[in-house]
Structure formats: C-alpha cells, structure tokens
C-alpha cells in the first residue's frame, strides 16, 4: 500500500483518503434519501478491505453525524485507522478554550482519545487569530490528543503565517486542505502549491473528482436529475459539459489503456503531483473500491502532462 508521511515527519497515512462530508449530511448530500447509514458503513469497510485507512471528517459535517458514524464504525473493526477532523471558527466561539472544547467533543463523537490530524477548517478570524489557533493546537500535540496540525482553505500567505507560528512552538504544519483536481487547479496559480512544497506541507485535495464530474457518469441527460449540492454547480450544465469533452475523451482513452475508470485516472493524476493526497468521497462500497483502484500503478510523465494540457486552467 502506498503511504505518505503528513508534513514530512508526521503520521504515516495511505496515499489516498476518504472524504466523509456526505456521511450524515442531509442538507447538501441527500443522506437518508439516496443513501444511508448502511451504505456508508459498507463504504467504510470496503475502504479498509482495500487498504485505505485514512478518513477525513469535520465537526460540521452532518452537524457531528459524520464523526459519530466514524466513531461507531471504528469500534466494529480491528484495523488501525487514521482520522483527521476540523474545527470551524464560528463567530460566537471566541475563546481559546473553545478550540480545546471542540476537540474534546470531536474525540467523544469519534470514540477515541487521539486523532492523527486536527485542522482549522477556514481562516476566519474574529476575536481569535491565527496565533491563537496555532498556539492551542501546538499545545494539543504536546498533550497527546492530536498527532499533527493542519489548516484548510488557507492562502499561501495565511499558510505561511500558520507555519511560522507553529515553528515557534517546535511543531510543523503538516497539511493544507484545499480543493484540487484536474478541473480545479487554482492552487497551481495562486502560490499555494509552490509554497506548500517549500514549507514541506502536504496538500489534502478535497473534491478531487470535481463533485463527480471526473467520473464520466454525467452527461446532458443525467444532469437533468441532479441531487444535492450539484444542483447549484454551474459546471454540471449541458453547455459546460460540452466544453469539457476534450478532457473527457482523453480520460476515456487512458481508461481503456490502463483498464481503469476515468475517476481512477483523475485520482492517479493528483497522486503523481507529489505530496498530494486526494480524499474522494465514498457513499457506498462500490465507490470506495473504485477510489482505492487509483493506487498501485502510475501514469507516465507524458500522460500526466497531457491531462494537464487538456484540463481547464
């Protein structure tokens, strides 16, 4: 199984993870309608069976339900899993103690005393500032409740500030979790990817399949029946899909060459960037197994570049 060390010297996790935003979320992902607790339980087990043991969640996913589900599932397996979760700095949580209290609540829902990674979900500064966040999380590393510190949706400048504050406490910044896919490549232009490489920060790539656009299952007919968050995404319009046809065609050609799905090709492309961990969602066992199929093989450098050229910048 391919693995990556978070931040270069943090916990060792699998080179692909499982994003669990949809687990328990009824607002955006129609949890309880198109899929339910049994489906995600099977996705959890299928991931482990395939060797993928890194799960990313957050306290706001399903208002804690995603964490509760993972906590329940981890009690039912003997496998060692790595869990990442996040703190959302809502405006009324204005004391440093609020961060520690939120971590306590997450650990209780996850039914564990320690997690591999704790992240600040958004760089929203009200009364609490970046130094406050980093000081508290550095202390939690020393307390043993978290193994590593991360941020999410931070710009290159914000990530650097967080890195420097942590360095003062002797703690590395392990992760910046940002959207990254063949169709979402802003971090290549805005300095985040380059700065992460300079600082030794691992990129956790969320929405690595662009909400499913890179799976190959969406066309002018299927987009008429969209559910959840995709209904609000302009990329799922018939005209937008038509513009993506050159990329889809290339993905199809490579799929046939490697006997892989377009999604597996797209995830492998991200892994090929180096120190990038895609965390695709999985609502059922089939999706979990398909995601794991991105591991154990590699696109050639020429194919990586070809996909880069075909994708929208």
Nearest to 176 by CA among 198, 188, 193: 193
Q: Is residue 138 part of a domain?
A: yes
Using CA atoms, how far residue 239 sits from 219, 262, 287, in Å, is 10, 20, 27
Q: Is residue 123 part of a domain?
A: yes
- Count the Cβ atoms, other than its own, within 10 Å of residue 121: 19
Give the percent of the chain with pLDDT over 70.
93
State how far the Cα of 306 lies from the Cα of 313, in Å rounded to an integer.
13
What's the mean pLDDT in 86-111?
A: 91
Nearest to 205 by CA among 222, 182, 224: 182
Which residue range is the domain that position 34 belongs to?
Answer: 3-210+261-298
Q: Is residue 117 part of a domain?
A: yes
pTM score = 0.93
Rounded to 5 degrees, φ, ψ at 303 are -70, -35
Give the percent of the chain with pLDDT over 90.
79
CATH code (residue 43): 3.20.20.100
Domain count, the chain: 1
Confidence label for 29 from pLDDT (cuts 50, 70 and 90): confident
Q: Is residue 305 part of a domain?
A: no
Q: Is residue 248 part of a domain?
A: no
Position 207 scores a pLDDT of 95
Q: Is the pLDDT of residue 190 over 90?
A: yes
Q: Is residue 242 part of a domain?
A: no
Q: Is residue 281 part of a domain?
A: yes
Nearest to 206 by CA among 180, 239, 226: 180
Ranking 4-13, 94-103, 216-225, 238-247 by mean pLDDT, the lowest is: 216-225
Ranking 76-85, 126-135, 180-189 by mean pLDDT, the lowest is: 126-135
Is residue 149 a contact partner of residue 120, using CB atoms and an 8 Å limit? no
Catalytic site positions: 61
Position 223 scores a pLDDT of 61
Position 226 scores a pLDDT of 61
Distance of CA 7 to the CA centre of its chain: 15
Q: Is residue 145 part of a domain?
A: yes
What letter does residue 232 receive in the DSSP assignment?
G
């Amino acid at each position: 199984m391919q693995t990556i060390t978070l931040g270069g010297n943090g916990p060792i996790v699998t080179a692909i993870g499982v994003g669990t935003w949809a687990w328990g979320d009824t607002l955006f992902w129609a949890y309880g309608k198109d899929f339910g607790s049994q489906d995600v339980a099977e996705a959890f087990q299928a991931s482990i069976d395939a060797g993928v043991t890194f799960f990313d969640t957050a306290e706001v996913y399903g208002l804690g339900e995603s964490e509760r589900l993972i906590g329940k599932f981890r009690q039912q397996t003997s496998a060692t899993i790595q869990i990442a979760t996040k703190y959302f700095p809502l405006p009324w949580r204005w004391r440093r103690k609020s961060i520690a209290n939120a971590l306590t609540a997450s650990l209780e829902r996850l039914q564990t005393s320690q997690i591999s990674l704790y992240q600040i979900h958004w760089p929203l500064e009200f009364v609490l500032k970046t130094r406050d966040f980093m000081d508290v999380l550095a202390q939690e590393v020393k307390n043993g409740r978290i193994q590593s510190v991360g941020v999410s949706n931070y710009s290159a400048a914000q990530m650097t500030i967080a890195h420097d504050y942590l360095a003062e406490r002797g703690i590395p910044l392990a992760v910046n979790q940002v959207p990254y896919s063949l169709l979402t490549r802003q971090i290549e232009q805005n300095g985040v990817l380059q700065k992460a490489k300079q600082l030794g920060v691992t990129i956790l790539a969320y929405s690595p399949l662009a909400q499913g656009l890179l799976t190959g299952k969406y066309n002018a007919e299927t987009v008429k029946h969209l559910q959840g968050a995709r209904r609000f995404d302009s990329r799922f319009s018939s005209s937008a899909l038509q513009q993506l046809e050159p990329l889809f065609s290339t993905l199809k050609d490579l799929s046939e060459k490697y006997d892989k799905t377009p999604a597996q090709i797209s995830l492998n492309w991200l892994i090929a960037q180096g120190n990038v961990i895609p965390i695709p969602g999985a609502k059922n066992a089939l999706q979990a197994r398909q995601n794991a199929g991105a591991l154990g093989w590699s696109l050639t450098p020429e194919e990586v570049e070809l996909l880069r050229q075909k994708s929208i910048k």
